[in-house]
A and B are shown apart, each in its own frame.
Chain A
Amino acid sequence: QKEVEQNSGPLSVPEGAIASLNCTYSDRGSQSFFWYRQYSGKSPELIMFIYSNGDKEDGRFTAQLNKASQYVSLLIRDSQPSDSATYLCAVNKPSFGSSGGSYIPTFGRGTSLIVHP
C-alpha cells in the first residue's frame, strides 16, 4: 500500500460545478496535510493545509480531514477552467533523525482535474 494514495484521474467537471478530490494515507502518525496545485510544466504551489479534523475553508476551496478514516479531501466550488491542473495531496510525518521536530512531506501521485467550459 502506498503511503499516500490519490486517483490519478482525470476528473472532468463542467465550469461552475463542485470538484471533489480525495486522498487517503496509511500512517496514523501523520500530523498535517497539504493540498498543492501543479500546472503542467510548473512546480507545485500550496493551496491550503489542514491539521485538525473537520473542514477548513479558504475562498472557493474547502479541505476536509477525517483522521479516524485517514482521509483528506479538497472541494473546489464554482470550478473555473483556470483550475485545470494536477492536485497533489501531501502528508507530513516527523522527520527521521531530526531532533528539531521537523516534518517531511510524502506526496501522492496527484489527480488531474479538467474543468471544461
Chain B
Amino acid sequence: GAGVSQTPSNKVTEKGKYVELRCDPISGHTALYWYRQSLGQGPEFLIYFQGTGAADDSGLPNDRFFAVRPEGSVSTLKIQRTERGDSAVYLCASSYRGRETQYFGPGTRLLVL
C-alpha cells in the first residue's frame, strides 16, 4: 500500500475486555514500531520488530500487552484485561531497515470505559 494502515481507527471497549489492534506497514519495510500516545504527550515507545522477531520490547508496560508479527509484515498488538488507563492513541510506524525514517500510520484511538 501507499502508507502504513491501522485498523480499527477507533475502538471502544469495557474494562476487563481483550482487544487487538492491527498494523499493516509499508510494503518492504522490515522494521515496525508500536507507540502509545496520551493526550498532551509525545508518542511512547512500546515494541520494535525487525522482521518477525521482537527486537526490543522494553517499552511494553506490563504482561497484559503483547504483540506479534508472524510473517514479517502485518503486526497485531494485543491487550488483555484492559484498564481505563490503557485509553490512548496507539500508533504504528514502519521503516526500511530500522535506521531510517519512520512513517506513521493514522493510529487507533482506544477508549476503555
A: residues with CB less than 8 A from B are 4, 8, 42-46, 49, 88, 90, 95-98, 100-110
CA distance A98 to B49 in the complex (A): 10
Question: Chain B nearest CB: distance from A47 CB in Å?
Answer: 11
Question: Binary interface profile of B, 72-113, with partner A (CB < 8 Å = 1, else 0)?
Answer: 000000000000000000010000011101111111000000
CA distance A58 to B56 in the complex (A): 32
Q: A43-B106, A46-B101 are in contact. Are A104 and B45 (CB under 8 A)?
A: yes
- A102 & B31 in contact (Cβ 8 Å cutoff): yes
- B40 & A108 in contact (Cβ 8 Å cutoff): no
Task: List the A side residues contacting B58 at CB < 8 Å.
Answer: 96-97
Could you list 14 further interchain pairs (A-B, Cβ under 8 angstroms) beyond the known A90-B42, A107-B42? Answer: A44-B104, A45-B104, A46-B101, A46-B103, A49-B101, A88-B43, A98-B50, A98-B56, A98-B98, A103-B98, A104-B33, A104-B48, A107-B44, A110-B42
| Candidates A46, A100, A109; contact of B102 at CB < 8 Å | A46
> Looking at chain A's contact residues, is the secondary structure mostly helix, strand, loop, or mixed?
loop
Q: List 24 A-B contacts (CB under 8 A).
A: A4-B42, A46-B101, A46-B102, A46-B103, A49-B101, A95-B48, A95-B55, A96-B56, A98-B50, A98-B98, A100-B50, A100-B55, A101-B98, A102-B31, A102-B98, A103-B98, A103-B99, A104-B33, A104-B59, A107-B35, A107-B42, A107-B43, A109-B40, A110-B42
- B44 & A43 in contact (Cβ 8 Å cutoff): no
Interface size class of B (residues with CB under 8 A): 20 to 34
- A42 & B106 in contact (Cβ 8 Å cutoff): yes
User: Does B62 lie at the interface of the complex (its beta carbon under 8 Å from any beta carbon of A)?
Assistant: no
- A105 & B50 in contact (Cβ 8 Å cutoff): no
Task: List the A side residues contacting B42 at CB < 8 Å.
Answer: 4, 88, 90, 107-110
List the A residue with the shortest CB-CB distance to B56. A95
- B48 & A102 in contact (Cβ 8 Å cutoff): yes
